[in-house]
Amino acid sequence: MPDAPDTSPDGGIAATSRALAAAGYLADEPASLVSHLAQRLGKPVLVEGPAGVGKTELAKALARATGRDLIRLQCYEGLDEAKALYEWNYRKQLLRIQAESEDHEASGVMDDIFAEEFLLTRPLLEAISSEAPVVLLIDEIDKTDQEFEAMLLEVLSDFQISIPELGVIEARTMPIVLLTSNNSRELTEALKRRCLYLWLDYPDAEREVEIVRLHVPELDEMLANRLVEVVGMVRELDLKKPPSIAESIDWARALLLLGADQIDSEIFRRTMSIIVKHRVDLDLVAERVGMRLAGALPAGGE
Ligand SMILES: Nc1ncnc2c1ncn2[C@@H]1O[C@H](COP(=O)(O)OP(=O)(O)OP(=O)(O)O)[C@@H](O)[C@H]1O
Ligand SMILES: [Mg+2]
């Protein structure tokens, strides 16, 4: 992806979209626009949406498209600064104190052991201090608590990290930052204000066929169309967990392995647990979609 300024704004967005496609990610217009702006404005992007719609993959594809390394911070409940920012390497510090205590004054040693070489860098500090520009993925930020979010604000707005014993470490190069959230809790306004926002949803049928065929190129085009159509029928039902793009891709792979050349009620019954993963959902889907396929109703017919 070109880092040099593009004179035409639309040209820049189209170039971003093409670069993402070349990196294996078919972005729609909003995703291309935000990815483009993130680089131009130097702002983090908060990507929200249901599970399996390509939030994490967008960050990975941006890294591939820009030729940058991807640094990933996987969030979880209880994630703290020591795992996200940095830790002092106590063992190394202790060894240095022992080694130097014989021939140095103690006061001199104390300064030494709080130098950068005694830091164990964790993903956020690694991204900030990297010599080469990187893509920083802060995945599933909604799994952490609000205190962690507050700590992130300094990194996201100033691209710097304060270390009491050492001072402020400023970003040497500007990272592209993506945060993803599954919406399991509302994020703070302070965090949202600092980010560009992208809502990723299930793609339209045409794009989903393209995505499925990109991942499973051997799959017959007619079958890919039918698969996406049936997944669409399943999504229309009121399910605990509707199938995502990830499930469509898995189902395509399974159909290919089984040598299926059409999706009839029999093959659907045998393979539907690949796209529907809750007991209650299975019953509902078998009844509604299974029956519909058994009745050999025309595509999209009632
Ligand atoms: N636009 C796209 N182009 C190509 N592949 C895609 C696209 N969107 C999704 N995928 C594929 O769908 C799968 C699921 O994507 P991903 O893991 O990024 O979802 P997610 O939104 O991060 O899900 P979760 O919320 O469960 O973490 C991946 O295999 C990814 O490659
Ligand atoms: Mg993800």
The per-residue pLDDT for range 90-101, each reduced to its tens digit, is 999 999 888 877
Q: Whose CA is nearest to atom 7 of ligand 1?
A: 54
> In the prediction, which pLDDT does 300 show?
45
Decide: 265 in ligand 1 pocket, CB within 6 A.
Answer: no
Q: What is the pLDDT of residue 184?
A: 87
- Phi, psi (deg, nearest 5) at residue 197: -120, 135
Ligand 1, atom 28, lies closest to the CA of 246
Region for 159 from its dihedrals, namely left if φ exceeds 0, alpha if ψ lies in -120 to 50, beta otherwise: left
Q: How far apart, in whole angstroms, are the C-alpha atoms of residue 84 and residue 152?
A: 10
Residue 133 in contact with ligand 1 by CB distance below 6 A = no
Taking the centre of ligand 1 as the mean of its atom positions, its distance from the CA of residue 228, in whole angstroms, is 15
The reported pTM is: 0.90
pLDDT (0 to 100) of residue 291: 83
Per-residue pLDDT of 243-252, as tens digits, reads: 999 999 999 9
